[in-house]
Amino acid sequence: MDQKKTKLIKERLLKRKQEILEAYNKNKTYGKEADEDGAQDIADKAANSYTKEFLFSLSNSEREMLQDVDEAIVRLESRKFGFCVVCEDEMDKKRLEAVPWAKRCLSCQEKQEQGLL
């Protein structure tokens, strides 16, 4: 992969990382606000509890995405970017353009989703 393309991919990954961190911080703030809300009746407490749970579940998926992005940056810097972490075959360029943090080729990703890996 040439340096220009590597630089563009790294910029996309860093931008995505920043977006995730901003969303995570916003959700964390909303979670704290829901916790501080002076709800008095049981229905309000249940609604606040549901809101907090929903926000924290979003945070878990964001943490997973952040980890995938960080791993892609490491692979990019170590010149292992663009190769499947399972079978080590070169990944499809269109897949990497669409999802630059992808770590598996389509075949291995399908196996992963089916629980075969």
Q: Give the span between the Cα atoms of 47 and 89, in whole angstroms.
A: 48
Q: Provide the pLDDT confidence category of residue 25 given band limits of 50, 70 and 90.
A: confident
What local confidence, expressed as pLDDT, does residue 1 receive? 73
Q: Give the span between the Cα atoms of 26 and 15, in whole angstroms.
A: 17
Cα distances (Å, whole numbers) of residue 1 to 34, 54, 77, 82, 96: 47, 40, 12, 9, 12
Q: Provide the pLDDT confidence category of residue 26 given band limits of 50, 70 and 90.
A: confident
